[in-house]
Amino acid sequence: MVLSIKRFEGKVAVVTGASSGIGAAISEELVKNGIIVAGLARRTEKVEELSKNLSGKKGKLHAFKCDLTKEEDIVSVFEEIKNKLGPINILVNNAGLSQKGSLIDGDTKAWKTVLDTNILGLCIATREAVQDMKTNNTKGHIIHINSVLGHQVIDYAGLNVYGPSKYAVTALAQTLRFDINREKLPIKITSVSPGYVKTEFQQVAGLETLPPAVPGLAGEDVADAVIYTLSTPPSVNISVGNIDKRINIRELLIYLLFRDSRSIKPLFLI
């Protein structure tokens, strides 16, 4: 199997939550590989700053303001992207958040914000991208940035509905595959589930920050996994220890030894 991302050069990718952390790292790697990236964020100034730093690279990063808890924002921004940049080939559903609290005395509004962002926002963005891909008969790729917490519940104070929202992402990826295969659309679906990633996530969520000595992934490590999945041929997906045709998709657990750690940390590609 020949791995190459060249077929996406000059094509359009949408990355949600592109202002920092994993989303910024993914956007940067896509641009370096010659892809035109629409970076969605509420803090567009951060995306614009990253875009300036990437000037002179093969691709280009464009900032688009979007609040993923608002359907009208999502629908509107996808229409704007299509009008300004052209048909969409890649969607990376990266945006996700948590807000500290417990299921015993947590705040309903906070729960709703997490669920609207992590589940409904992802669903709406996916729908808009798939509809565009369907219209243009695009051999596209939808990538959900999931979490190992979408496969196993852990005892970590303050997560409340975050873990369940990621379990939903796991189920949504498989359900989307069924829908895509039923309509025989040439669109690949990948769910990438990193372990602990050293970003501002914990701090923003008000969660306990793990000590620096705790091994963790960098956003760039997750970006590398995204580039790898995009590099596989259109007819191929990753399966259990094998490379199978798209129609035969199973769960794969691979252990990657990352650049700056002596330990092996799990990353699921599903």
Q: Tens digit of pLDDT for each residue in 86-134?
A: 999 999 999 988 888 899 999 999 999 999 999 999 999 999 999 999 9
* Chain centroid offset of residue 96 CA: 9
What was the pLDDT predicted at 159?
86
Instruction: Round to whole Å and give the CA distance between 176 and 185.
Output: 11
Q: Provide the pLDDT for residue 254.
A: 33
Residue 211 covered by a domain: yes
Q: Which residues of 207-230 are buried (b: 16+ CB within 10 A; e: fewer)?
A: beeeeeeeebbbbbbbbbbbbbbb
CA distances from 176 to 116, 142, 169 (A): 18, 10, 10
Could you confirm whether 162 is annotated as catalytic? Answer: yes
Domain that holds residue 137: 6-269
pLDDT at 157: 80
Checking phi first, is residue 91 left (phi over 0); if not, alpha (psi -120 to 50) or beta?
beta
Q: How many domains does the chain have?
A: 1
Residue 156 covered by a domain: yes
Whether residue 16 is contained in a domain is answered as yes
Residue 30 near residue 57 (C-beta atoms within 8 A): no
3-state class percentages of the chain: helix first, strand second, coil last, to nearest 5: 40, 20, 40
205 confidence band (pLDDT: 50, 70, 90): low
The answer to the question of residue 1 being in a domain is: no
CATH code of residue 258: 3.40.50.720
**Is 181's pLDDT higher than 90?**
yes
- How many other C-beta atoms are found inside a 10 Å radius of the C-beta of residue 194? 22
**For residues 239 and 222, which has the higher predicted lDDT (pLDDT)?**
222
**Quick check: is 175 in a domain?**
yes
The catalytic residue among 156, 162, 167, 228 is: 162
Kindly state whether residue 100 falls inside one of the protein's structural domains: yes
Q: pLDDT (tens digit, 9 = 90+) per residue, 223-247? A: 999 999 999 988 777 532 222 233 3
Task: Average the pLDDT over each of 40-44, 60-64, 117-121, 208-212 and give the range with the smallest value.
Answer: 208-212
Q: How far apart are CA 136 and CA 69, in angstroms?
A: 27
What value does the mean pLDDT take over residues 247-269? 37
- Among 119-133, 183-197, 227-241, 255-269, name the one with the lowest average pLDDT: 255-269
